[in-house]
Amino acid sequence: MPETETSPAPSTGENREYDYDLFVIGAGSGGVRASRVAAAHGAKVAVAEEYRIGGTCVIRGCVPKKLLVYGSHFAEELQDAAHYGWTVSAMSFDWAVLRDTVLKDVDRLNAAYTSTLESHDVERFLERATITGPHGVKLASGREISAKVILVATGAWPAVPEFEGSEHCITSNEVFHLEKMPKRVVIAGAGYIAMEFAGIFNALGAHVTVVNRSDVILRGYDEAMRDRLLQITMARGIEYKFHCPFNKVTKLEDGSLEVNLEGQDPLKADIVLVATGRKPNTAGLGLENAGITLGEKGEIPVDEHNRTSCDSIYAVGDVTNRVQLTPVAIREGQAFADTVFGGMPSTVDYGCIPSAVFSQPPLAGVGLTEGQARNKYGNIRVYSSDFRPMKNVFAGRQERGLYKLITDAATGKILGLHMIGPEAPEILQAAAIAVKAGLTKADFDATVALHPSMAEELVLMR
């Protein structure tokens, strides 16, 4: 492949100028995909990972968290079983069993990701690597390595606000390793991580208090979905304290915690989980040695081809702070490898990216929210379906699902689709294809409903 400005060809044979064609720092979703694809294109690739192969999503993020969601769902399922004729007696829950089963699956995925790299002859260094210059990295062991291209894929890290006693708090990194099930949980923040863990611990029987500096949960999601989730979770027993900055967390003699909030009586807790966002993991990487200046939030600025201000250094995934989602990091890693080593210049389309919150109940959305659509298009039309899922009716639960279609009033084109209710993320994935394809409300109306299902509400909205 001829070398181009955006696609430096991998070197081969005895004339290799560098130790590696590509050196990747970080073996998460984006780094592993980039390594595998670059190697398939003929590049000599190495990757450094200071913890475990697989990254945040696989090791301490969305995958183990989803398994905890599954485990917590059984509390509701077992309660509802009586309505279906089942007698379930002597119910009990063992946190250690769920925790260890989840961690066992993390081990499985770590091995699977490692096997993927091995099968593509990607060399692995299980230690920290820092950048020493445009083509140089240094391992924690002291070894210095040269590479024609360096890719930074170090992800993001939990952001912990500064307040007295913050060292007594945990983040989503540690929550999967708790020795015992907490009875009282205080969660700082109201984003997707906070709301997912609030649902998990609430379902497992803990008293959960969500503390937030503002009065908005899930900022950026459609307002109607947020309001519905707030109503349902409050009815389920989750307590909210809004406009409440943390003043201090004190560890008591019995090991419990006392949480002091601005303008509130102290709270007692077994754990305080800080879930106030994630910051790009760039501290101490040595990017300044290659002349790279970080952005305001510590992110690595890159162009549409994932290249930094240094021509030989690229970055993908959460470390760039574009869209902090695993599938996006994977697409960026693929585009990088195809562009730089495959002779196939590629970019990622960031429009209409579906997202979900695995709260209880879950919500999901794609495209513009109602507010965003009004601001951009002005004249819009909103269709909705506010219904009680059949499962809830039969179980005697009052919780209602809500689906919303937002369209351009002039053309009928669907601008956004948002839903909250059982299995909402599973339903949205297929519907997101239609939104991405630019289909209209008429196209949905022309589709025969699949009955009886919750998904049929998508083609019956008025």
Domain boundaries, position 186 = 166-276
The reply to whether 383 and 327 lie within a common domain is: no
For the stretch 323-371, pLDDT in tens is 999 999 999 999 999 999 999 999 999 999 999 999 999 999 999 999 9
**How far apart are the C-alpha atoms of 59 and 272, rounded to whole Å?**
21
Q: Where are the alpha helices (DSSP H) in 246-386?
A: 326-341, 370-377
Check whether residue 367 and residue 445 sit in a common domain.
Answer: yes
Mean residue pLDDT of the chain comes to 94
Joined together, the tokens standing for residue 377 give: 């298009």
Residue 90 belongs to a domain: no
Q: Are 418 and 369 in contact (CB under 8 A)?
A: yes
Q: How many CB atoms sit inside 10 A of residue 460's CB?
A: 15
pLDDT tens by residue, 15-33: 569 999 999 999 999 999 9
Residues 28 and 123 in one domain: yes
Quick check: 350 and 322 in contact, CB under 8 A?
A: yes
Question: Rounded to two decimals, what is the model's pTM?
Answer: 0.94
Question: What digits encode the pLDDT tens for the residues 75-123?
Answer: 999 999 988 999 988 889 999 999 999 999 999 999 999 999 999 999 9
Q: For 200-256, where are the E strands, in sequence order?
A: 207-212, 239-242, 246-251
pLDDT at 89: 87
Note whether residue 260 is domain-resident. Answer: yes
Q: What is the pLDDT of residue 15?
A: 53
Q: Give CA–CA dist 215/109, Å, rounded.
A: 38
Q: CA-to-CA distance for 374 and 104, rounded, in angstroms?
A: 47
Task: Identify the CATH number of the domain in which residue 18 sits.
Answer: 3.50.50.60
Which is nearest to 300 in space by CA: 12, 21, 11, 25?
A: 25
As to burial, measured by CB atoms within 10 angstroms (0-12 exposed, 13-18 middle, 19+ buried), residue 340 is buried
- Of 251, 276, 301, which one is at a domain's C-terminal end? 276
Q: What is the mean pLDDT of residues 405-430?
A: 97
Contact 286, 200 (CB under 8 A): no
Please tell me whether residues 141 and 288 are part of one structural domain.
yes
The residues annotated with a catalytic role in the active site are 451
List 185's β-bridge partners, or say none. Answer: 208, 271
CATH assignment at residue 366: 3.30.390.30
Q: What percent of the chain has pLDDT over 70?
A: 97
Per-residue model confidence (pLDDT) at position 8: 55
Contact 387, 399 (CB under 8 A): no
Of the residues 276, 293, 320, the one at which a domain ends: 276
User: Given its phi and psi angles, is residue 352 left (phi above 0), alpha (psi -120 to 50 degrees) or beta?
Assistant: left
Residues 300 and 448 in one domain: no
169-181: pLDDT as tens digits: 999 999 999 999 9
225/271 same-domain check: yes
Based on the structure, what is the number of domains in the chain?
Answer: 3
**Residue 363: strand, helix, or coil:** strand
Q: Are residues 32 and 106 in the same domain?
A: yes
Quote the CA–CA distance of 61 and 324 in Å, as a whole number: 12
- Rounded to 5°, the CA angle 203-323-124 comes to 90
Q: Are residue 295 and residue 408 in the same domain, yes or no?
A: no
Q: What mean pLDDT comes out for the span 266-281? A: 96
| In 74-143, beta strands by DSSP E | 123-125, 129-133, 136-139
3-state secondary structure of 41: coil
Shared domain for 172 and 242, answered yes or no, is yes
Select from 276, 298, 326 the last residue of a domain: 276
- Say whether both 49 and 114 belong to one domain: yes
Same domain? 298 vs 330: yes
pLDDT of residue 55: 86
**Sign of the C-alpha dihedral, residues 37, 40, 42, 47?**
positive
